[in-house]
Chains A and B, each alone.
Chain A
Amino acid sequence: MKDSDVRQGTLALMVLKTLDVLGPLHGWGIARRIEQISGDLLTVNQGTLYPVLLKLEQEGSIASEWGASENNRKARFYRLTRQGHKQLQAEARSWEQTATIIERFFAVKAQDLE
């Protein structure tokens, strides 16, 4: 349970970052990008992306509209809102802090504590 919560949290952060970097993008595009960068996180389960997109949209961090895809098909494009931008910055900062702390924590060897 907790595992999926954490994963959902990181997935949300990745979605925000993706949209921040690449601009408006459809669901498949987001999935591809995350797959390219994170390796196997979404390899067998791209479907889990959609509830996360919905949650972000409900929270107002992203917005969506229908548009034409590269090969001229109808697709739903997601984009970062101003609030999503702020959220990304805040979460990136807190993620960095967490990461630093964890890193330091693991860097500590037993003899350092003596």
Chain B
Amino acid sequence: MKALRRWARQSTSWLRSARDEDVLQAEIDEHIAMEAAENVRAGLSAAEARRWALLKFGSVEAAKESYRDQRSLPLMETLAHDMRHMLRRLRKTPGFTAAVLVTLALGIGANTAIFGVIDSILIRPLAYPHADALVSVSHTAAGLPGLPGDLGCSPSMYFTYREANQTFEHFGVWTSGGASLTGVAEPELPRTLFVTFGVLDAIGVKPLLGRWFSEADDAPGSPETVMLTYGYWQRRFGGDKSILGRVLTIDSKPRTVIGVMPEGFRFRHDPELILPRRLERAALSLGPFDSQGIARLRPGVSLTQANADVARMLRIWGSAWPLPPGMDSAPFRNARLGPRVQPLKQEIVGDIGAALWIVMGTLGMVLLIACANVANLLLVRAEGRQQELAIRAALGAGWGRIVQEMLLESMILGVLGGALGLGLASAGLHLLSANGPDTLPRLAEIGIDPLVLAFALGVSLFSGALFGVIPAFKYGGPHVATALRGVGRTFSYGPERLRARNVLVVVQVALALVLLISSGLMIRTFQQLRRVQPGFSHPEQIQILHSIIPETVAKDPERVMRMQNEIMDRLAAIRGVTSVGFGTAAPLESFLGGGNTVYPEDQRFTESQVSVMRQIRKVAPGFFKTMGTRIVAGREFTWTDLYEKRRVAIISENLAREWWGDPRAALGKRIREAGPADPWREIVGVVENVYDNGVQVRPPAFAYWPALMDRYIWSGENEFAVGAGMFAIRSSRTATEGLLTEARQAIWSVNGRQPVFLVTTLKALYEQSMARTSFTLVMLAIAGAMALVLGIVGIYGVIAYTVSQRTREIGIRTALGAQPAGLLAMFVRHGLLLAGVGAAIGLAAAAGLTRLMSSLLFGVTALDPATYAAVLALLIIAAVLASYLPARRAMAVDPVQALQAE
């Protein structure tokens, strides 16, 4: 404790050193004066008294010296001294300092930013209480090899799992989608989370106001309730505290607001409303797997135990529930369901981790290149100081002290650069969390926390040490004294002087090549994605808007359809509109939901694929024409089909091939949706596949029903028409305010009480679907560009420096008759040699490393020859340029001046 306190005082003493010195001097003077006064009292003369006093005190300097040693730590003293000295030097060379700091700030900033992203997405736990006990419950299906992702839960599983589990504290299932909010000033369709009892309890985030759903809210027949999330409550109701108990009309039903979730509450798809999901137990069967399961594990339960528990419950479930109507048990047997309980975080984060680590890796390489560049600059500087260092060594400075000083300098540069980089990173993260792709999970949580700060500091110190070690050991070593001899007129620079710098440049070029190839591969991937026929054409021309005809305006399905028809006619009459389509959702809007299982009539369900979810869209005539979806066989729906309520259907090409091998063979076959009430419908057309989940994902199979039907599973024996739907307008004026205004007027001229929302263009949806790829692409392209620039600067620097150092040699050569062109070629060859060796190493490294990113690639292999060739060519051209420019200066050398110099 005592020693600690002393150390604390000592290590901060340099803050007060000047004052302390004066105080000590005053104290010593005083001491001697008192001793002298005492001696005078004893009878000595004034001069004699003072002499004796001084004698008795002993050496003033020795006392001061040992006082100083006691006052502070000697190491701190020299550090403080070195630091002052160094900062002065850095101020005197602003160009050098700025170059180093900018390079480091970019390198460290980029790495800190991406680490911030990784930290908030992958490392930090989810923002729920005891989030590590939260798991998602889904299923593997070994018998369904084509299945994209896992199989969710069926509503019937909710009851089995809730009642029979031995490992869950809470369990519930949820789905997401939209729900229309009407009866307010501006009707709209908020993003909605549908939860059973147990989901909110599992998550464990307490509501800010009111209460959670209870089991009673789930029971059919009880009063309808709804919860709001904080953002929606603020935006829509201005944070009105009296919201509890208010009745909102949602999906045409009055529902009482019972609670508001707190600000920090996040869930998948960022919901605005939370509705209880009411499942009617008696009507449930084994399928469909349309829900997501979430559970909180009991304390002490492991994932293995939970998985075993679900495996056990799957057997109970399989025999406890009836088969869906019209199906035998084969598809369920053949699907071979297995449990897949995984941490919720893992499920949310998904495969984004791979892309992030790759970006982090590439930015790490950029930092290495930046360090190499800074090391190069420091080498040049150390070279300039060589004589000074040699003299200091000759005067007795220990080489440890010199190395310490050089390392300190690089560390300080590293930390200063890191501080600037932290600023850049924080700005970058702000930008990212405001404009990042929606597909980036947990986007809103991104920011700088202590871990990121520690990372930035660590990286700064590491880089400082990294680029400081090279010059420190090259010039701080015990051989410095020889340098004294090596500087002078008679000396020309041998190649070994440049070795360290050559090596650095080779490393830079190799790293830059790897990065350029990675970004090249991403560019090729993007091109390939662009080349995919997405199942629609010219998406930039398609304006999309959603609208709802509320039940209060029209209830009769035929009447609803006639209104939609009239709206379509009026939209088509707008200037510049070529065609209008109507349906439940546009392509790439599968997040709005609408999947179910579909069965063909002529095949008994021995094929296991039968229980797979298909996308269902209800469309009106003109939908495919407007989207530009090609009709492969048969025809589109007609208005006669709709108004005569013919039982017709259109399917996608991949579904036709799956069941009948050929699109033409599908015509005339009959299919229906799962459920007792759905009638068989005859296939009249087969259309091109639509990449509904994004172009890099296999297109899902589609069944299209008419927008007006005489019977449908969701309406029982009654007619059905699409009341909430999407209008697609193909026009040359898409996305202009004029078109939107006229389109709204057209809708409101038919029905003035109709909300218009989710206004977008198909192009925007298309780009959103490629957001993750373009995010990775942009990050890698930035890294690649930085690497290329830094690499070029590296080559340029070395050649320029070589030229300046070999001026005398050039002068001699010119005097002896060397041709300028030959001299130029000599330097360019040097640059090319460095680039060539670097490129060869880089190619080998790239061949190994790009394999890691194959999961991000699409339509191109990790060893794509075109990319490798293009990048290599680019790099060689850049290297020639980077060496040609400084080498030209060699031609301008005047031999007379060169030989007279120095």
Closest to B8 in A: A58
Q: Which residues of A contact B71 (CB under 8 A)?
A: 54
| Given A47-B63, A48-B66, A50-B63: A55 touches B6 (CB 8 Å cut-off) | yes
A51, A58, A60: the one within 8 Å of B63 (CB): A51
B33, B38, B56: the one within 8 Å of A43 (CB): B56
- In the complex, the answer to whether A28 meets B5 with C-beta atoms within 8 Å is no
Going nearest first, the 5 A-B pairs with the smallest beta carbon separation are: A47-B63, A45-B58, A28-B34, A47-B58, A58-B6
- In the complex, the answer to whether A46 meets B56 with C-beta atoms within 8 Å is yes
Of B24-32, B198-206, B349-357, B442-450, the one touching chain A? B24-32
| Given A45-B58, A51-B67, A76-B27: A69 touches B9 (CB 8 Å cut-off) | no
Contact with B along A11-26 (1 / 0, CB 8 A): 0000000000000001
Q: Residues of A at under 8 Å CB distance from B?
A: 26-28, 31-32, 43-48, 50-51, 54-55, 58-61, 69, 71, 73-76
Q: Which residues of A contact B23 (CB under 8 A)?
A: 76
- In the complex, the answer to whether B27 meets A50 with C-beta atoms within 8 Å is yes
Tell me if B57 counts as interface (CB < 8 A to partner A).
yes
A43 to B66, CA, bound (A): 18
- In the complex, the answer to whether B31 meets A55 with C-beta atoms within 8 Å is no
A51 to B64, CA, bound (A): 8
Q: Which residues of B contact A58 (CB under 8 A)?
A: 5-6, 9-10, 70
- In the complex, the answer to whether B57 meets A76 with C-beta atoms within 8 Å is no
> Which residues of chain B from 41 to 71 have any CB-CB distance to chain A below 8 Å in the complex?
55-60, 62-63, 66-67, 69-71
A73 to B32, CA, bound (A): 12
A51, A73, A74: the one within 8 Å of B70 (CB): A51
A114 to B57, CA, bound (A): 51
- In the complex, the answer to whether A55 meets B34 with C-beta atoms within 8 Å is no
- In the complex, which of the residues A45, A71, A74 has the most CB atoms of chain B within 10 Å of its own CB atom? A45
Tell me if B37 counts as interface (CB < 8 A to partner A).
yes
Question: Distance (Å) between the CB of B16 and the closest chain A CB?
Answer: 12
Tell me if B35 counts as interface (CB < 8 A to partner A).
yes
User: With contacts A43-B56, A50-B24, A76-B30 known, what are 19 further pairs, Cβ within 8 A?
Assistant: A27-B27, A27-B31, A32-B38, A44-B58, A46-B57, A47-B28, A47-B57, A48-B63, A50-B63, A51-B63, A51-B69, A59-B6, A69-B34, A73-B30, A73-B34, A74-B26, A74-B30, A75-B34, A76-B26
A61 to B27, CA, bound (A): 20
Q: Which residues of B contact A44 (CB under 8 A)?
A: 55-56, 58
- In the complex, the answer to whether B30 meets A47 with C-beta atoms within 8 Å is no
Q: Which residues of B contact A32 (CB under 8 A)?
A: 38
- In the complex, the answer to whether B31 meets A46 with C-beta atoms within 8 Å is yes
A75 to B66, CA, bound (A): 21
A sample of 13 inter-chain contacts (CB < 8 A) reads: A27-B30, A28-B30, A28-B31, A32-B38, A43-B56, A44-B56, A47-B57, A51-B66, A54-B70, A58-B9, A73-B30, A74-B26, A76-B23
Q: Which residues of B contact A48 (CB under 8 A)?
A: 58, 63, 66
A5 to B250, CA, bound (A): 86
- In the complex, which of the residues A28, A71, A73, A75 has the most CB atoms of chain B within 10 Å of its own CB atom? A28
Tell me if B19 counts as interface (CB < 8 A to partner A).
no
Q: Which residues of A contact B62 (CB under 8 A)?
A: 47
A40 to B405, CA, bound (A): 45
A44 to B24, CA, bound (A): 20
Q: Which residues of B contact A45 (CB under 8 A)?
A: 57-58
Q: Which residues of A contact B499 (CB under 8 A)?
A: none
Question: Distance (Å) between the CB of A103 and the closest chain B CB?
Answer: 28
- In the complex, the answer to whether A46 meets B70 with C-beta atoms within 8 Å is no
- In the complex, the answer to whether B5 meets A60 with C-beta atoms within 8 Å is yes
| Given A46-B57, A51-B67: A28 touches B10 (CB 8 Å cut-off) | no
Question: Distance (Å) between the CB of A28 and the closest chain B CB?
Answer: 4
Contact with A along B1-21 (1 / 0, CB 8 A): 011011001100000000000
Q: Which residues of B contact A60 (CB under 8 A)?
A: 2, 5
Q: Residues of B at under 8 Å CB distance from A?
A: 2-3, 5-6, 9-10, 23-24, 26-28, 30-31, 33-35, 37-38, 55-60, 62-63, 66-67, 69-71
A73 to B57, CA, bound (A): 19
Closest to A29 in B: B34
Question: Distance (Å) between the CB of B36 and the closest chain A CB?
Answer: 10
A85 to B213, CA, bound (A): 67
A1 to B35, CA, bound (A): 29
Q: Which residues of B contact A46 (CB under 8 A)?
A: 31, 35, 56-58
Question: Distance (Å) between the CB of A77 and the closest chain B CB?
Answer: 11
A28 to B6, CA, bound (A): 24
A60 to B7, CA, bound (A): 12
Q: Which residues of B contact A50 (CB under 8 A)?
A: 24, 27-28, 63, 67
Closest to B71 in A: A54
- In the complex, the answer to whether A28 meets B58 with C-beta atoms within 8 Å is no
A76 to B58, CA, bound (A): 20
Closest to A83 in B: B2
Question: Distance (Å) between the CB of A44 and the closest chain B CB?
Answer: 6
Closest to A70 in B: B34
Question: Distance (Å) between the CB of B426 and the closest chain A CB?
Answer: 40
- In the complex, the answer to whether B59 meets A47 with C-beta atoms within 8 Å is yes
Q: Which residues of A contact B56 (CB under 8 A)?
A: 43-44, 46
Question: Distance (Å) between the CB of B68 and the closest chain A CB?
Answer: 9
Q: Which residues of B contact A61 (CB under 8 A)?
A: 2
A47 to B10, CA, bound (A): 20
- In the complex, the answer to whether B30 meets A59 with C-beta atoms within 8 Å is no
- In the complex, which of the residues B6, B31, B71 has the most CB atoms of chain A within 10 Å of its own CB atom? B31
- In the complex, the answer to whether A73 meets B33 with C-beta atoms within 8 Å is yes
Question: Distance (Å) between the CB of B814 and the closest chain A CB?
Answer: 66
A29 to B34, CA, bound (A): 9
Q: Which residues of A contact B55 (CB under 8 A)?
A: 44
Question: Distance (Å) between the CB of B28 and the closest chain A CB?
Answer: 7
- In the complex, the answer to whether B35 meets A28 with C-beta atoms within 8 Å is yes
Q: Which residues of A contact B63 (CB under 8 A)?
A: 47-48, 50-51
Question: Distance (Å) between the CB of A7 and the closest chain B CB?
Answer: 13
A54 to B28, CA, bound (A): 13
Question: Distance (Å) between the CB of B39 and the closest chain A CB?
Answer: 12
Q: Which residues of B contact A75 (CB under 8 A)?
A: 27, 30, 34
Question: Distance (Å) between the CB of A67 and the closest chain B CB?
Answer: 12
Q: Which residues of B contact A59 (CB under 8 A)?
A: 2-3, 5-6
Q: Which residues of B contact A74 (CB under 8 A)?
A: 26, 30
Question: Distance (Å) between the CB of B664 and the closest chain A CB?
Answer: 96
- In the complex, the answer to whether B30 meets A26 with C-beta atoms within 8 Å is yes
Q: Which residues of B contact A28 (CB under 8 A)?
A: 30-31, 34-35
Question: Distance (Å) between the CB of B5 and the closest chain A CB?
Answer: 6
Closest to A45 in B: B58
Closest to B69 in A: A51
- In the complex, the answer to whether A47 meets B60 with C-beta atoms within 8 Å is yes
A92 to B270, CA, bound (A): 72
Q: Which residues of A contact B2 (CB under 8 A)?
A: 59-61
Question: Distance (Å) between the CB of A9 and the closest chain B CB?
Answer: 13
Closest to A46 in B: B57
A43 to B57, CA, bound (A): 8
Closest to B66 in A: A51
Closest to B32 in A: A28
Q: Which residues of A contact B33 (CB under 8 A)?
A: 73
Q: Which residues of A contact B9 (CB under 8 A)?
A: 58
A50 to B64, CA, bound (A): 8
A89 to B55, CA, bound (A): 34
A61 to B9, CA, bound (A): 14
Closest to B37 in A: A71
Question: Distance (Å) between the CB of A54 and the closest chain B CB?
Answer: 5
- In the complex, which of the residues A51, A61, A76 has the most CB atoms of chain B within 10 Å of its own CB atom? A51
Closest to B60 in A: A47
A46 to B33, CA, bound (A): 13
Closest to A55 in B: B70
Closest to B3 in A: A59
- In the complex, which of the residues B3, B28, B58 has the most CB atoms of chain A within 10 Å of its own CB atom? B58
A27 to B53, CA, bound (A): 14
A32 to B39, CA, bound (A): 12
Question: Distance (Å) between the CB of A11 and the closest chain B CB?
Answer: 12
Q: Which residues of A contact B69 (CB under 8 A)?
A: 51
